[in-house]
Structure 1
């Protein structure tokens, strides 16, 4: 039997693959494994980009494992360090994460994709939040989705539980690109390699500022940047990398980012 959570490392890129037939559903144990994996990625200075993928072509992930719940897995149990799916509540995740969605992203599987910074999907992929039909709350999606797509579209998905195809998801800006299934992985790795060659301290600052500024007034957030109150901004402005781009331009060469 394959490992439920597999990793593949190429240079500064880590691919995390969930392989849990038949629907890549996530129980408590799997969520904790994912959390440990993403935490290790976050804390490894040699890794700069993560790809989140799943095995098979029918389901990206069906979300919460209802069979496990029926067998005693508590819905409010210990999901692990990163919350459900290991990623959506992981603190200080200041590295880019790419979702490679090939198949149905349902409920918590949809929320796992929403926890990523970029989403690439195959043409046959689809998205749904059926929790309303089970009389429960799609908690993370209710918080995140109205901030990602127009409010009325997000409410439509949340209130009806209907399916959204990949092309519609792309039209609303939820998905970055839609590709044929046989070209999806190649494109995701192309983007991952592009990001792996970018300035990691700038990426970290972008993610922290974007995340924390959501709860701040615009001018307050700008003042925090100017006064270097964001930890990642302070680290960036004090780094060698902060001047490397200017030096590289003046010397007519490609910048060499060292993350320090």
Structure 2
């Protein structure tokens, strides 16, 4: 993957990919930008050398406000072709089984919040804020309507969806969809610190975790558990037949750090 410039910036270091939305003034996403993001996250998914991604916004004020209403006013259809991964490149990307960290550096609302909810860990600067203001423009926050009530208490999710009210970062952390609150100047350092920790971990286990968790969201416990024990998940079957599975056991027995190869 070559570094990109323009509306989406990428930086690669070892097995870590940093993706930055850079569309002044607010980092809003139009159809073209969404398609570019889809290509980036598809390539991230398919590159065996990449282990973890970070997504953030350029500047100090906006992470992402979601859909670019100016582009919509100029003709971008709200139900247009968002690209291979759906809006923002990752929400509907199949088999995206690698960890993704959101580093929320400011306003995170609408589709921007839906993108953050598609990641696995959300870090946020002290001045970050969150909302689903679609209700005020007569639009459905579709992905958030599906995801948010599963992430936080139902009544808080419905409050956000029905009123469009803003949450500061402390309240977002209290309800559990922000993992850590950080000084703005420390946000990206912490994101990379966490990414390096994940980079050093077992990629086949990460893939199995993500596939099992996704499946379990829509099923009862025993149904998903039966699929695990019968090795009906592709990632679980690969893991249980892998060199890494043996390496983990050997490293434990030999009292050393494992060397993960992803195979």
Counterpart of 1:148 (choices 135, 146, 151) is 151
Instruction: Please state if 1:237 is matched with 2:211.
Output: no
Equivalent position of 2:112 in the other structure: 109
Question: What is the CA deviation profile of residues 57-113 of structure 1, one whole-angstrom value per residue up to 9, with x for unaligned ones?
Answer: 111011100000000000000000000111111110000000000000010111111
Measured in 2, the distance between the counterparts of 1:90 and 1:41 equals: 11
Map 1:146-185 → 2, pairs under 5 A: 146-185=149-188
Instruction: Please state if 1:90 is matched with 2:93.
Output: yes
Question: What is the CA deviation profile of residues 201-254 of structure 1, one whole-angstrom value per residue up to 9, with x for unaligned ones?
Answer: 000000000001112221111111001000000000000101211101111210
Equivalent position of 1:26 in the other structure: 29
Measured in 1, the distance between the counterparts of 2:261 and 2:220 equals: 33
3-state SS of 1:53 partner? strand
Instruction: Please state if 1:52 is matched with 2:17.
Output: no
Moved beyond 4 Å, runs of 4+? none
3-state SS of 1:17 partner? strand
3-state SS of 2:34 partner? helix
Which runs of 5 or more structure 2 residues have no equivalent in the other structure? Answer: none
Counterpart of 1:207 (choices 196, 205, 210) is 210
Measured in 2, the distance between the counterparts of 1:113 and 1:126 equals: 12
Measured in 2, the distance between the counterparts of 1:195 and 1:112 equals: 20
Equivalent position of 2:83 in the other structure: 80
Measured in 2, the distance between the counterparts of 1:172 and 1:213 equals: 21
Map 1:217-236 → 2, pairs under 5 A: 217-236=220-239
Equivalent position of 1:99 in the other structure: 102
Map 1:111-130 → 2, pairs under 5 A: 111-130=114-133
Question: What is the CA deviation profile of residues 143-162 of structure 1, one whole-angstrom value per residue up to 9, with x for unaligned ones?
Answer: 00000000001001001000
Measured in 2, the distance between the counterparts of 1:237 and 1:252 equals: 21
3-state SS of 1:116 partner? coil
3-state SS of 1:75 partner? coil
3-state SS of 1:56 partner? coil
Measured in 1, the distance between the counterparts of 2:21 and 2:221 equals: 38
TM-score, normalization by structure 2: 0.97
Deviation, structure 1 residue 35:
0.3
Which runs of 5 or more structure 1 residues have no equivalent in the other structure? Answer: none
Map 1:133-144 → 2, pairs under 5 A: 133-144=136-147
Question: What is the CA deviation profile of residues 21-45 of structure 1, one whole-angstrom value per residue up to 9, with x for unaligned ones?
Answer: 0000000000000000000000000
Deviation, structure 1 residue 54:
1.0
Measured in 1, the distance between the counterparts of 2:123 and 2:86 equals: 23
